[in-house]
Structure 1
Amino acid sequence: MPPQSAPPCPADTWSLCPVCLKRLPARRATHGDCVFLERTCPDHGHFRVPVWVGEPALSSWRRPKTPSPPNPGGETGRGCPYDCGLCAAHAQHTCTALVEVTGRCDLCCPVCFADSGHGASADPSLEALRRRLVALRLQAGACNLQLSGGEPTVRDDLPEIVAAAREARFAFVQLNTNGLRLAREHGYAARLARAGLASVFLQFDGSDAACAALRGRALLSEKLAAVEACARAGLGVVLVPTVARGVNEGELGAILALALSLAPGVRGVHFQPMAAFGRRPGKPGERGLHGPTLPETLRLLVAQSEGLLRAEHFHPPGCEHAMCSFSGTFLREGHGLKPLGDAAGGCCPEPSPQVPSALEGATASRAFTARQWAAPPPEPAPGLAADDFDRFLAQAGSSNRFSISCMAFQDAWTVDLERLRGCCIHVSQPDGGLIPFCALNIVSSTGRPLHREGGLP
């Protein structure tokens, strides 16, 4: 018998059975300072998982917006989350589109989201990717593009793929990578930059001990070499730590301090608490199955920042669902950080008397990401005219800007269909469809995917 609960907070929703992936009515129930996602499967029993722990309270962590379906005429059949494509029920436009250019990888991370490298199918051809990128640009509009995998750098034609993305009129192209080839191959980062790459989303979990636990071996020196190579090539870098309980949750402050020491080449840090995805679907009651929840990560970061950060420096998203992320934009001043408001270029405008549409939030987020995560502006050329120099000074303030953010992914244990319908990170499929990132990567506790190959019919 499940424990007695307070009324749902803030409303009832739908979820999945983590064993069979059947859609189930669910509720967010408050117990003390924790919010649990609760549901009962007639075949596999009751499931109760914490999704929000502590302050700031979920009831206060809201940024209202009006849903703006990107595909109001899309076909529906079995309902969310089975009809992704996107279906008519989806409420948010694409902020970032991911294209998985390979399933191969040169690591075998114990916590891989996508189970990359295990029986990977053949890579799509360059010509197939060209066609797909053109179709994606027409479908998703002027969104940001991330090339992902697998590990994209195992493809020798990656510079040509980057160039194809720019030819398809994607203004901001980012590479999601473990950084190993960037570190070891002289001139590789420069080749990617010449092809049109703007930013590197670099897997970066902290110490060698953390890397060994999460990636299978010590990698810190190679990660730092990758950052150095990108800085020389003029590529902006975002450090992306996976945060795992008992592994590196005590290293958030150290990762932040290191990132600041590597600025302006490093443009920010984007924390990602552990999710039960891909290679690690998890079992009921397994210790460390999930990383800290969003508010727990925020409090850990503040506590470890040596006074640089306060909780009020961060805000809920204006694009995706409020339970999915937090972010803050700062100005580096000496050894300190000054929080920046909207006038200085923050990603999400302050709430106004008129509730904005989801599309407005997506548009603002796209622009901010492209502006902040790209490389800082170059130094002025000698003999620059006075008016040009004034313009340079106005732009150069961006080189001292630094973003800190966190994205809490959903898996089969924590998936909330209200959140899923607000997702703005969509993965391009070979058939032209778009699937929300979390939906694509959901696997049951028995390892059965929801959408990837071998998933539900």
Structure 2
Amino acid sequence: MCEKVWEMETESVCPICLKRIPGKKHQGNAGIFMEKKCPEHGEFKTLIWRDTADHYRGWNTQRCSGAETEADTPCPEGCSHCRAHRQEICCVLLELTNACNLNCPICFAQAGEGRIWSLSMEDIEKRYAYMLDNGGPYNIQLSGGEPTLRDDLPEIIALGRRMGFDYFQLNTNGLRLAEDYDYLLALKEAGLTCIYLQFDGVTEEPYRHLRGRSLLHIKEQVIENARRAQMGVVLVPTVIRGVNLDQVGAILKYALINQPVVRCVHFQPASHFGRFDVDAPGLPLTIPELLRNIERQTGGQMKSGDFSGGGAENPYCSFHTRYIKEKDGCLKVIKGEGGCCSSSQSQDYVKMRWAWPEVPKGCCETEGDALDSFLYDMAYHSLAVSGMAFQDCENLELSRLQKCYIAVAQEDALIPFCAYHLTNRRGEGLYP
């Protein structure tokens, strides 16, 4: 063990009882570690950043931080509209059902377990109304379980549109969208903005490991149906070392080939929450290692230095950038985009970049002046690349949680995502 040349205090939770405990971050041989001690359950240690202290400190380029105040209720078990929360909400997950047509070995929502439920239309309307009364309208992610199991999903979207929400993203495994094109058209007509598609690789092996069955042909059919319907798609790979980390470059290549229907690749390193084997190999996968793999596997076309941390959320939670694919096939990074300071700016960014592209009337690829050509390329040949490193019981920091701008809707609360889905090593949740 090398000398602890850098150290910083933090607050976290015990991975066993989930009680709030102090911790310290320090530099070790492999990167930045968090150590913490629970009076009842002992000491714990986890890697949180696979790089140097200089790189870790340099990643925090956030321009705005929000005011620090005392919490109204204990953090994180009392999360909702608390004065200690230092960011407005950008995106709200509306969990419509916990039923699912897959039984994935890895599932943050533990879909299909316990009592199967679905929200009534009255319950959904109450949640919409609560959001509007508490800072909304927000970007809405329709989630579950598998939300496409609901035949009334078009009516749910239409209701939200009538009440004043203008962005709806569908979090889905894609099974129904691949098989039922008319259902996809009904969702679009109701006001669906984009498809947030589970997409773990370009071969079948990752799906068999992470989802329990071969699914690549299903994902490819969703892409084709979305192209036909002119619906934007975000590819969402859950990434684990030893399972599909070696496919991040191939996933990005697939996305570039399938422009403009694929608008973004949004990587999610797997976290220890929900249904997940706590002894599974390949964790933790931190942001620097994922970015180095992107650079190596794209042959340097996408460089780790092209990316930066979030501006609205805590910077250690995410990374992002955007590229234009030029006519010779080379990629040009678009600097200065996505570093939004406010949640409203982040909402607008996602609305513009993840939906099916629109360009000013009259612009085309081959005719017009240089500005027309640029606007066309920005719309049809750009690809956002981003990722979100969700926190779990091993690495959660309250300072990060207090900047969370993704929430889960309850009838009378908006609970930060990483608090709502926080589970201990036994799989027991902080929230029921």
Q: Distance in 2 between matches of 1:316 and 1:25?
A: 25
| CA shift for structure 1 position 366 | 1.2
Match of 1:52 among 49, 70, 74: 49
Secondary structure of the 1:145 match is: strand
- Partner residue, 1:64: 62
Q: Which residue of 2 aligns with 1:356?
A: none
Give secondary structure in 1 for the equivalent of 2:342: helix
**Structure 1: how far apart are the matches of 2:43 and 2:389?**
23
Picking from 340, 348, 353, the partner of 2:339 is 348
The residue type equivalent to 1:59 in the other structure is R
Taking the aligned partners of 2:373 and 2:138, their CA distance within structure 1 comes to 27
Whether the 8 Å CA contact 2:23–2:34 is kept in 1: the answer is yes
Distance 1:395 1:102 in 2: 39
Q: What is the match of residue 113 of structure 1?
A: 108
CA shift, 1:6, in A, is 3.4
Deviation of 1:289 after TM superposition, in Å, equals 5.9
Is 2:327 the partner of 1:336?
Answer: no
Letter in 1 for 2:420: L
CA distance in 2, matches of 1:287, 1:396: 42
Match for residue 238 of structure 2 among 239, 242, 246? 242
Change (3 A) 1:135 1:365: same
Change in 2 beyond 3 A, CA 1:142/1:67: farther
Alignment partner, residue 437 of structure 1: 417
**Corresponding residue to 2:393 among 399, 412, 415:** 412
> What is the percent sequence identity of the aligned residues?
38
The within-5 A match list for 1:7-406 is 7-8=6-7, 11-32=8-29, 34-54=31-51, 57-68=55-66, 76-77=72-73, 79-206=74-201, 207-280=203-276, 282=278, 286-288=279-281, 290-334=283-327, 335-342=329-336, 346-348=337-339, 360-377=341-358, 394=375, 397-406=378-387
Q: Secondary structure at the match of 1:28?
A: strand
Q: Secondary structure at the match of 2:245?
A: coil
Measure how far apart 1:422 and its partner are. Answer: 0.9
**Deviation at residue 397 of structure 1 after TM alignment:** 2.9
TM-superposed CA distance for 1:4, in Å, is 6.0
Matched residue of 2:348: which SS?
Answer: helix
Counterpart-to-counterpart distance in 2, 1:211 and 1:29 = 36
C-alpha distance after superposition, 1:175-208 (max 9, x if no partner): 1000110001122211111000011110000121
Native 8 Å contact 1:69 1:93 kept in 2: no
User: In 2, Cα distance between the equivalents of 1:185 and 1:194?
Assistant: 15
SS of 1:251's equivalent in the other structure is: helix
SS of the residue 1:403 aligns to = strand
**Residues 387-445 of structure 1, C-alpha deviations (whole Å, 9 max, x = no match):** 9xx98984663222210011111001111111111111111112x20111111111111
The one-letter code sitting in structure 1 at the alignment partner of 2:331 is L
Q: 1:127 Cα shift?
A: 2.4
The residue type paired with residue 338 of structure 2 is C
Distance between the aligned counterparts of 1:16 and 1:291, measured in 2?
A: 17
* TM-score using structure 1 length: 0.88
Q: In terms of mean alpha carbon deviation, does 394-403 or 28-37 score higher?
A: 394-403
Give structure 2 stretches of 5+ with no counterpart.
none
Gaps of at least 5 residues in structure 1 are 350-359
For the aligned residues, what is the CA RMSD? Answer: 2.5
Post-superposition CA distance 1:127-159 (Å, at most 9, x none):
221231122123132421111111000011001
